[in-house]
Structure 1
Amino acid sequence: MRTFTRWLLAAAMIFAGLSHLFWARKEFQAQVPDVVTEVLPIDKDGVVVASGAVEMMLGAALVVLPKERRRIGGILAAFFVAIFPGNIAQAVGKRKGFGLDDDRARYLRLLFQPVLVAWAIWATRD
């Protein structure tokens, strides 16, 4: 069961990473907190592209580095925690994206992030 969920997570991460680079690039920009581009020398599109590349690498690593899966699971869980402020910024800023066009939908989406963290940890344990 863990193997299946790990591969499913890997596929989801690769798919999400590709979507950052291609069809959902503009949608993801709604999740980038303004403070990120104020503090770092990068624009929202650069953040989206970089996070998409990280997602694809983590997804691939879950599959191609089986001896490191526990470490990768921890890194992936930390990644999910690190991007959570973007989800909060989208909710607080009432930014539309991914069909999240009302407060209820945006705030309900926040509840999904801990599920991703737990999934990354559970799927990569022995």
Structure 2
Amino acid sequence: MKALTQTMMESGKEFVQLLDDSGRKPKAAFWIYNPELDEWILLFGHVNGINDDDAKFNETVGALYASNREQLPGLNVTDIGLAQENAPILELLDSVVNTGDDILGISFTNEEILGQVIDGVFLYRMNITEFVA
């Protein structure tokens, strides 16, 4: 398994904050390992004002990345993706963790969740089912 580096984790966290600051606050944000490609992908879900609009998401990501590239040394724009609102991974992760609106750093490696094996996830935020304190 290709390593998720500290620099990637920090750049991912910075990108979540950039989305928050731009008014596009995602309810889900995490790195996920794709074993077929041996790559980590920074996925976002339920992004404010974007929903499942890939073109709008790519435009937002491209603009934020271009104007903040020097702050994101462990991140390439091609590493970033949008999970559709009904993506099974969102429901799966939401079933076991709710971070509220905080940006955390929770790691899952070779975990089984509801019968599904998760090779690797580094979770910043999962707040699809609204957090109630």
Structure ranking higher on relative contact order (CA contacts 8 Å, 6+ apart): 1
Which structure's residues are more often helix, by fraction? 1
Q: Higher Cα Rg: structure 1 or 2?
A: 1
Specify if TM > 0.5: no
Which structure's residues are more often strand, by fraction? 2
Q: TM-score, normalised by structure 2?
A: 0.29
Q: TM-score, normalised by structure 1?
A: 0.30
